[in-house]
Amino acid sequence: MIMDTMPVWLPVALPLIGALLIGLAGRWPNLREAVTLLTSAALFALVLRLVPAVLAGGRPDVVLLQMMPGLSIRFTLEPLGMLFACVASFLWIVTSVYSIGYMRGHHEGHQTRFYVCFAIALASAIGVAFAGNLLTLFIFYEMLTFSTYPLVTHAETEEAKRGGRVYLGILVFTSIVFQMPAIIWTWSLAGTLDFTPGGILAGTAPPELLSGLLVLYIFGIGKAALMPLHRWLPAAMVAPTPVSALLHAVAVVKAGVFTVLKVTFFVFGLELTGSLEASEALMYVAAATILIASLVAIREDNLKRRLAYSTVSQLSYIVLGAMTANAWGMIGGGMHIAMHAFGKITLFFCAGAILVATDKTEVSQMRGLGRTMPLTMLAFLIGSLSIIGLPPLGGLWGKWYLTLGALEAHQLVMVAVLMASSLLSLAYLLPIPLAGFLGTPPEPAESGGSQPHRGPGQSPGRVIREAPAACVIAQSLTAVGCLVLFFYPDPIYALLRSLVGAGP
């Protein structure tokens, strides 16, 4: 029995074991970071071993604790969860490599605590991915919130503490006031919290009540950052850049939109969701979030805050896809989880590399930076084009299938919103690498910072001064990933198609 169930729960347990070992190795930085890298690589290998069984139609399942009939701590492997687990576990490896260069290059303190909390956060994310019911998902969802709070407040400055309060306050508020009552209400209606293809709520209550329940869930999943419950995400930008990458690409926001898809498909079911009046209303809330957040991003001069509002906008693509309540929308939402993860983590890696190498944080300071940091600016360009959704970058595919979902739902307004959002993302992202490569570097007095040493014969602004090698390697890998995912999206599509059945 133990050997049969071990592959299901071991990917959740492994990062927790790694967190313990990282803490024990804290006095020896090289050993601590080696444990981090080995644990992240081992987790990815374990997750990959589980994919073939799920693709073949298997749904491995284990109940860890049965409290009463229909109420248990349970892990169940299914295609959507496997996709999230694959993305999170792979990007943990890359983020770990990046963190080593960033944390050392930026001379950050409390590095052992950082790596320990990071490992616990990944265990929480895998727990969310493998959750077999709403209770298990809620436990790991909250565990993810509290394990990332020390990361958000890592600097321990007043600004960091203030950002941490906003972060924790909004996420805990939405969970307690909206999500927990929704889960209890679901239990009272259906008598179970288990995730079931096709849903568990059909016929349990009048449509008006089920519409209200759907609204509770969507706003209760605060990590999806729907407006007006989005402020925690920009507030969390006080964290070190590897933490921003964790929040935006590896775990936190992806856990939010993953939960939206999971609740839509396994709790309500696509047919019921599409029949509820609330689904169209929530679609318009998502559309408004997409456009408003994009307009705010254009006005932000701080690079990380601009990227944060970009994420708020992009997350609502996935909420919109879920509310179209059809197979194309589900495939598009799942595809966008993976594609956005690679594009956005590349952008945050580049933002951190710029900070480490130049101490620059504002978009207005990027002029000419491509001449001294060409690899970083090239990676930023690739990540930007992927987020915009242009070929040959992977970001195209999420928007492609989401558009098909909107067309199938006869929502031409949503198609227009998706197109307008791409134009807006072009407006707030593309000027950064263009200014970096084509702009004139500011004079030392204008830039407010010291200039790198130039040898004989070297012209101003052309001294190569990239961030530490670990940062450059990590951002290059994810940038290449954006390209690879355009040409080879089939593994992701196969997982998502197996979720929706014979599908489109």
Tens-digit pLDDT profile for residues 143-163: 999 999 999 998 888 998 999
Segment 209-236, tens digit of pLDDT: 999 999 999 999 999 999 999 999 999 8
pLDDT band at 77, cuts 50/70/90? very high
Cβ proximity of 54 and 495 under 8 Å: yes
From the list 280, 495, 489, the residue with the least C-alpha distance to 398 is: 489
Task: Answer whether residue 453 shows pLDDT above 90.
Answer: no
pLDDT band at 444, cuts 50/70/90? low
Task: Answer whether residue 468 shows pLDDT above 60.
Answer: yes
pTM: 0.92
pLDDT band at 322, cuts 50/70/90? very high
Cβ proximity of 348 and 241 under 8 Å: yes
Q: Which residue has the tokens 């999170």?
A: 88
- Average pLDDT value for residue range 353-374: 91
Residues paired with 316 in a beta bridge: none
Q: Which residue has the tokens 């402020």?
A: 231
Task: Answer whether residue 251 shows pLDDT above 90.
Answer: no
Cβ proximity of 113 and 140 under 8 Å: no
Read off the DSSP letter of residue 73. Answer: E
Cβ proximity of 336 and 399 under 8 Å: yes
Q: Per the structure block, which two tokens stand in for 310?
A: 């970009």
Residues with Cβ within 8 Å of 477's Cβ and at least 6 positions away in sequence, in order, are: 94, 97
From the list 42, 83, 124, the residue with the least C-alpha distance to 339 is: 83
Task: Answer whether residue 105 shows pLDDT above 80.
Answer: no
Residues with Cβ within 8 Å of 20's Cβ and at least 6 positions away in sequence, in order, are: none
Q: Per the structure block, which two tokens stand in for 367?
A: 């002029």
Spatial distance between the Cα atoms of 50 and 86, rounded to a whole number of angstroms: 10
- Note the pLDDT of residue 311: 93
The number of beta carbons lying within 10 Å of the beta carbon of residue 228 is: 10
Torsion sign over Cα 485, 489, 495, 501: positive
- Note the pLDDT of residue 451: 47
From the list 462, 242, 472, 480, the residue with the least C-alpha distance to 357 is: 472
386 or 103, greater pLDDT: 386
Q: What percent of the chain has pLDDT over 70?
A: 94
pLDDT band at 486, cuts 50/70/90? very high
- Note the pLDDT of residue 123: 96
Q: What is the dihedral of CA 86, 87, 90, 92, to 10 degrees?
A: -120
178 or 248, greater pLDDT: 178
Which amino acid, one-letter code, is at 385? Answer: L
Task: Answer whether residue 452 shows pLDDT above 50.
Answer: no
